Structure 1
Amino acid sequence: MHIIELDRRAVAESVRVVARVGAGDLDRPTPCAQWTLGDLLAHMTAQHRGFAAAARGTGADPRAWEVLPLGDDPVAAYTAAADDVVAAFAGPGVADARFALPEFSTEVTFRGVRAVGFHFLDYVVHTWDVARSLGVHPALPPELVTAALPIAEAVPDGPGRAQPGAPFAPRLSIVEGATDLDRLLALVGRAP
């Protein structure tokens, strides 16, 4: 399955889980250090907008990545941004386009297929984050988790992951008999 289709499915799963968020849930803690669920949704919404801009050739503009207030209906704001990134990734030539992703590097651009892979990994993990915050079990399709594993394995580990603002925490030990989801979460520093 192509990475753009995998990403579309991961984003659809995230929308399904985010749809369960109520106004009283926004202050809940998340697996993301120091973020409430409202903070996480604002981050996820901004990332969708930034990646959509990158797919359209305008990702170098820092304003595309700004975390903005979600307004009176955070679920609708998130869903609109999710729809936007899916539409942007479905555009012609996206897999081979060059994406400016200033959060990763301001000096190089990334081939579309690789950039979509970054986004895909994030939305498999963030779907789990939101579900965990809500106390529900995400029904992540096994093929999405399996496809995300090699991307997570390729993310460098090291001291940079312990810095404020790092996208992932340092890797955790993977216990014997761990499921693919548990392995994936440990690779990105989440405790299953």
Structure 2
Amino acid sequence: MEQREAERGFVVDIQELNRRAVRQSVEIVSSAREEQWDLPTPCAQWNLRQLLAHMTAQNNGFAAAADGETEDDSVWREQPTADPGGDYLRSAERVISAFDGPDVMGREFWLPEIRRVGGFPARMAISFHFLDYVVHGWDVGAALGAPPKFDDDIVEAALEVTRRAVPVGPSRSLPGSPFAPPLPAEGSDQDRLLRLLGRSPAWPA
């Protein structure tokens, strides 16, 4: 009962939406050239190499959670790599496969970067991952000078997750926060999504 209540309001087709968002991020990352790894990104604390290391670790961490890991958090740690693009692509395939595993939607996900004790219902956890990869996919594209346009249903679902799951407050200003304080909401739905999460659609302006 508690798990059903916790999941209420999160998008029903989250596995398919997440799969599409991750696949789009793969296309974006695949366009990067080796000399671009040190480019700045909308995530001010990370250049492109560092952002991809973060995204790779998150994919691997969420995949482990989907597979039932509840104790070992080493997979969440970001690792330096000589092949940031290739490592990211492999991690993307891993997380898509894990989220499609049998009975995964009946599990709880251990997400130690959010809280060490207890888990999150699968639909909620995959919603968190989905939102991150819409936004970080945009971050990578913007860093490469080609910010992507996401399908309307992806943007609509990401807006829903943002409203339900992303707190607004002082934590947005702390070092390492995934999202900056919100900007005034205006423009297209995708622009509004980015602004709600502290990104300027016109970055680096």
TM range (shorter): over 0.9
1:107 aligns with one of 105, 109, 117? 117
Aligned to 2:194: 185
1:60 to 1:183, Cα distance in 2 relative to 1, 3 A: farther
Q: Which digits, 9 at most, give the CA deviation of each residue in 1:55-83, with x for residues without a partner?
A: 01115422010101222x22111100000
Aligned to 1:21: 32
Check the 8 A contact 1:50/1:59 in 2, yes or no: no
Q: What CA distance in whole angstroms lies between the structure 2 residues aligned with 1:39 and 1:59? A: 26
Structure 1 segment 91-106 matched on structure 2, within 5 A = 91-106=101-116
1:44 pairs with 2:55: yes
Q: Which digits, 9 at most, give the CA deviation of each residue in 1:105-163, with x for residues without a partner?
A: 11231001100000000000011000000001313222111111110112110001111
- Structure 1 regions of 5+ residues with no counterpart? none
Q: What CA distance in whole angstroms lies between the structure 2 residues aligned with 1:129 and 1:164? A: 18
Aligned to 1:134: 144
Equivalent AA in structure 1 for residue 117 of structure 2: E
1:53 pairs with 2:61: no
Normalising to structure 2: TM-score of the pair?
Answer: 0.89
Check the 8 A contact 1:51/1:59 in 2, yes or no: no
Normalising to structure 1: TM-score of the pair?
Answer: 0.95
Runs (4+) of structure 1 exceeding 2 A deviation are none
Aligned to 1:5: 16
Tell me which moved more, 145-154 or 8-17.
145-154
Q: What CA distance in whole angstroms lies between the structure 2 residues aligned with 1:189 and 1:94? A: 32
Equivalent AA in structure 1 for residue 189 of structure 2: D
